[in-house]
Chain A
Amino acid sequence: MTTPQSVSRPPSSPRVALFVTCLVDAMRPSVGFAALKLLRDAGCQVEVPAAQTCCGQPAYNSGDTADTARLARHFIETFEPYDYVVGPSGSCVGMTREHYVDAFADDPAWAERARRLGERTYELMSFLVDVMHFAPADVRLDTSFTYHDSCSGLRELGVHAQPRALLGEVSGLTLKPLEGNDVCCGFGGTFCVKYPAISNAVVGEKADAIERSGARLLLGGDLGCLMNMAGKLKRKGSSVRAFHAAEVLAGMAGGPAIGEER
């Protein structure tokens, strides 16, 4: 006798829109190409909507709700036609998934569209694991890494186990635990330039903890935080090299790390 099973099966070849995010677009395109490769390897039909711009997080964090709503409407119109929206950043995805609804507090129709799109919007690592049940194959990197859990991904989206599971599939790669892995690095979007001295004190402690881990690589899932930490490590003269986890998973960590000459 058989009993019905509730194991969710990955959807076959969903149409996925890659939400590149501003920082990846401008600062480190390799993260975007890594995401593209991983999503394709996982069996998705990936498209990159050309009309995408910024999710509006700087406006939202500054209290500018009207401009947030303007950019949120643009985002929703751009990404609505797809089965899923996936971005290599917990912070940007958290913004569109969790906060758009707040920006439309007085606009129920748009709030509903935001909510519906939010349900189909994922951070890259969690999408690969939770939705596509994907594991990278034949990736090898003989080194050690430590992992920083960026706050938005961790607390707004529950991204914690997924990147570790994926990185665990990379042969030769060993995890060195990071003391305070869930403590903010002091980036905080506009915070780091509005209160640079405080931000510096916070990232200084983070850089010390990263060095104490003894790892050769620092990996994470958010480019803003990674640039902050890599920038501090470099200023300190540290030899720890920083990459986005997607670059490692896609076998694209052979090039220069964040803040290295290219």
Chain B
Amino acid sequence: MHEATISFKERAKEALADPTLKLAIDRTTGTAERKRAVAMTQFPQFEAARERGKRIKDHVIANLDHYLLEFERNAIASGAKVYWASTAEEASQIVVSLCQQAGAKRVTRVKSMLGEEIGLPHALDEAGIERVETDLAEHIVQLGGDRPSHIVWPSMHRTREQVSEMFKRMHRAPHQEETIEAMVDSARRELRDKFLTADVAISGANFLVADTGATCTVTNEGNAELTTTPPRVHIVTAGIEKLVPSTEHAFLLLRLLVRSATGADVTQYTTFHCGPKQQGDRDGPEEFHIVLVDNGRTRMLREGMKEMLRCIRCGACMNHCVVFRQLGGHVYGGTYPGPMGAVLTPLFDGLEKSRDLPHACTMNGKCQEVCPVAIPLPTLLRGWRDRSWREGLEPATVRFGLGIHTFVASRPRLYHLGVAIAIRVMRLFSRGGVVKGMPGLGAWTAYREFPAPAKRTFMEMYKDQEKGQ
């Protein structure tokens, strides 16, 4: 894969040099930020709801074994089959073999980040099963042959102009008018017969409801309903952290999720899927399978990252992240981008491969401020930095530099002498109030001026003042 072969910094450089990408990012995240801000002014209970949401998730995480078994029991009672997968490979294998058992030639998929996480699109393609992405943005991603760049708007990296061009090139009966409606119609024409002729539907779940055994999906396009209704088989894949005790809890979290993601009060479509078609039902699948996926989640619980299991995948952290808004999602190199992705990717892909992610953060705290379940994202990112330091993954230059810094800074007289010398050296390079061409300052001065230091340090001047008095 493209992302794996070049470093984070090189990927970042490419992204920074792409003005069309920046335009696409600004349009999507800017709109999301504005709409969320408006929604918050109309939702004064946000703080209280956030506290409750956090408590619900923490409670479930602390009693995960209990709720998992309750969910399994109730799901089985509803006629569903439940599978447990401890790794991504196991999970996607279960799904692929269920598709094969169903003799599936064509499967329709509802957007699911968990599906991306377990590598399901790739596994289905490898198995020679035709995969049809039914979420409009996922459809765009599929046509472009790339990966989602945002967890809520997977095709955020493409402008509508680019999408229009792509549809014209690849759709059977593309749009004539350059309007969003005409483009959506083009996609509808392209996808409608596939919805109706698929053998298996695969969806994720926004919530797993323990006391009913139901799974819940939310969409704004209605594609989840149209995807999961006609086919004979419906397979749900979900991370075990999606559990909630009851439907009421799901609705409380939904209020937080939707406002944080799109700024709407509620999603256009909120559907609870509970078991296969029963006698007397007019529609629904004959088989209903639920694959419960761990893939590192119980490790997060053990390794001091349990707050991350609260995440409800709203995307607010990335929409408000200054780094994400410069780079977009692909630069992060994992399934999940932005602050939450920078916490998760080292867990999935290994810290050595992704040590840049927790470091490429200014620690400004905005992500935690907007998180609807108050995940301390900066603290978790610092946790990775701490681990990277302990495991010796930090560059020798940084270790050496900080070692000297600590040695000097724990000796006040040496420290003050050192600072006094340093500013005098800097002043040798100072012209017109700024430092020019000084070795070691290139990372700063390549892009901005470095204000020149004073002639003497505060401590020197203060000492003289005190003596004079």
A259 and B364 contact, CB distance less than 8 A: no
B454 CB contact (under 8 Å) in A27, A195, A196: A27
A262 CB contact (under 8 Å) in B359, B365, B433: B433
Q: Bound state CA distance, A106 and B359, in angstroms?
A: 24
B453 and A191 contact, CB distance less than 8 A: no
Contacts of B454 in A (CB 8 A): 26-30, 262
Total interface residues on B, using CB and 8 Å? 65
B453 and A27 contact, CB distance less than 8 A: yes
Q: Bound state CA distance, A104 and B433, in angstroms?
A: 41
Total A-B residue pairs with C-beta atoms closer than 8 Å?
A: 204
Please give 12 more A-B residue pairs, beta carbons under 8 A apart, in addition to A50-B459, A194-B443, A262-B455: A25-B419, A32-B462, A50-B463, A62-B394, A63-B382, A63-B387, A155-B365, A198-B12, A198-B326, A202-B326, A227-B450, A232-B449
A197 and B16 contact, CB distance less than 8 A: yes
The residues in B between 435 and 459 inclusive whose CB is less than 8 angstroms from any CB of A are 443-444, 446-459
The dominant DSSP class at the B interface is: helix
**Which interface class (under 10, 10 to 19, 20 to 34, 35 or more) fits A?**
35 or more
Supposing A26-B423, A63-B387, A259-B449 touch, asked if A184 and B459 sit within 8 A by C-beta, the answer is: no
Contacts of B448 in A (CB 8 A): 200, 203, 228, 231-232, 234-235
Contacts of A151 in B (CB 8 A): 362-366
Q: Bound state CA distance, A258 and B434, in angstroms?
A: 9
B362 and A70 contact, CB distance less than 8 A: no
A259 and B361 contact, CB distance less than 8 A: no
Q: Bound state CA distance, A182 and B320, in angstroms?
A: 11
The residues in A between 46 and 62 inclusive whose CB is less than 8 angstroms from any CB of B are 48, 50-54, 56, 58-62
The residues in B between 358 and 381 inclusive whose CB is less than 8 angstroms from any CB of A are 359-366, 368-369, 379
The residues in A between 193 and 233 inclusive whose CB is less than 8 angstroms from any CB of B are 193-203, 227-228, 230-232
Residue of chain A at shortest CB distance from B323: A198
Contacts of A201 in B (CB 8 A): 16, 326
A196 and B449 contact, CB distance less than 8 A: no
Residue of chain A at shortest CB distance from B393: A63
CB of A71 within 8 Å of the partner chain: yes
Residue of chain B at shortest CB distance from A230: B451
Contacts of B57 in A (CB 8 A): none
Residue of chain B at shortest CB distance from A31: B458
Q: How far is the CB of A158 from chain B (nearest CB, A)?
A: 12
B366 and A155 contact, CB distance less than 8 A: yes
A186 and B362 contact, CB distance less than 8 A: yes
B406 CB contact (under 8 Å) in A71, A228, A256: A71
CB of A253 within 8 Å of the partner chain: no
B322 CB contact (under 8 Å) in A32, A61, A184: A184
The residues in A between 80 and 129 inclusive whose CB is less than 8 angstroms from any CB of B are 102
